[in-house]
Amino acid sequence: MMTAEQALEIVRKLPKHERQRFFAQLDRERKAQPGEEEIRRGWDDLMALAGSINTGKVLVPFPTKEQLYDENW
């Protein structure tokens, strides 16, 4: 079994890019581990949002990135 200090030593040896990725993923693991019940409650609320808006007649169903980032679109 690896200790926290040993793990940290390995992290210190990672290239900068990989170290940043490690911390990004560690942060995600640390702050984002809701339980199964919480996830299911979240889904209930999410499903209540489904189809909750009606914008009328859709003219361009799937705008391209070029359109989305074009000021005149």
Partner 1 sequence: MTRIGEILFVDSNILVCFLDVAHPHHERVMAMVRRWRNEDLRFAISPQVIGEAFRTLTSHSYTSGPLKAKTFRPLAERVKVNPSVLVVSPGEPAIDFALDAAVKLDISSARIYDLILYGTMREHGIARIATINVKHFSGLDGIEVVEIP
Q: Which residues bind partner 1 (CB under 8 A)?
A: 17, 20-21, 24-25, 28, 32-34, 36, 38-43, 45-47, 49-69, 73
Please report how close the Cβ of residue 67 comes to partner 1 at its closest, in angstroms. 7
Nearer to partner 1, 5 or 62 (CB): 62
Strand (E) or helix (H) holding 29: helix 16-31
Select from 47, 20, 60 the least CA-distant residue to 11: 20
Please report how close the Cβ of residue 8 comes to partner 1 at its closest, in angstroms. 19
Query: How far is the CA of 32 from the CAs of 17, 18, 28, 38, in angstroms?
Result: 22, 21, 6, 11
Nearer to partner 1, 3 or 72 (CB): 72
